[in-house]
A and B are shown apart, each in its own frame.
Chain A
Amino acid sequence: QKEVEQNSGPLSVPEGAIASLNCTYSDRGSQSFFWYRQYSGKSPELIMFIYSNGDKEDGRFTAQLNKASQYVSLLIRDSQPSDSATYLCAVSDTGRRALTFGSGTRLQVQP
């Protein structure tokens, strides 16, 4: 079982819709959770991080964390074609040397 699992997609949504991206992780000791966006041929860039159960909002993005279910999600409201990219979920705990990444979900926002 992979440590961080994501549906590879593609997830296709119309412009203006809400895109929902999901991630599960296997290590119950995980404490920090990150969402990165990666455009094709580019390096990952951080969108949001979340440490506590519940929701965290930043502009059009909302991260949701449920540690009991070992589940973290990213909601993108009012999706734009420029949001089309691969979204990587990454997980860390205090014992880890570095972040562990999922393989990413490819999002396509159709104009």
Chain B
Amino acid sequence: EADIYQTPRYLVIGTGKKITLECSQTMGHDKMYWYQQDPGMELHLIHYSYGVNSTEKGDLSSESTVSRIRTEHFPLTLESARPSHTSQYLCASSVRAGGAGELFFGEGSRLTVL
């Protein structure tokens, strides 16, 4: 069973607030990802990291930022939240060194911006 944790699970905040979604994994995986998913829609990659101090933007443009200071930790930050940021954010990790292999997902953080 995958050991990848996300907090908070649910967050309701007002417009303009700064928020950080936490993601941690205890499997020692180098590769970590953030996906965004609206209800009934596909997952869109917004950020990924191949290791410490390595971060890249994904396919879907996002105003969020990420950091990877430690292998196990990959937080996502929104400096000024807006209603358009309301969505489910899924963190995932992978062990495969080449290409993209099996992803292990956290339980998700559901963000609502009023």
Which A residues have a C-beta under 8 Å from some C-beta of B? 4, 8, 31-32, 34, 42-46, 49, 88, 90, 92-104
Contacts and interface: CB of A to CB of B under 8 A. Distances in A.
B43 interface: yes
B106 A32 contact: no
B58 interface: yes
Contact of A98 (B41, B48, B98, B108): B48
In this complex, the member of B40, B59, B100 whose beta carbon has the largest number of chain A beta carbons within 10 angstroms is B100
B41 A92 contact: no
A94 B99 contact: yes
Task: Describe B's contact surface by its main secondary structure.
Answer: loop
B102 A96 contact: no
Interface residues of B, number: 24
A43 B104 CA distance: 9
B105 A97 contact: no
Contacts of A44: 43, 90, 103, 105
In this complex, the member of A34, A44, A90, A102 whose beta carbon has the largest number of chain B beta carbons within 10 angstroms is A44
Contact of B99 (A43, A88, A93): A93
Interface in B20-64: 33, 35, 40-43, 45, 48, 56, 58-59
A92 B101 contact: yes
B108 A31 contact: no
Contacts of A90: 103
9 contacts: A46-B102, A46-B103, A92-B100, A97-B56, A97-B100, A98-B45, A99-B100, A101-B42, A104-B40
A104 B106 CA distance: 19
B10 to A, nearest CB: 10
A22 B66 CA distance: 35
Contacts of B59: 100
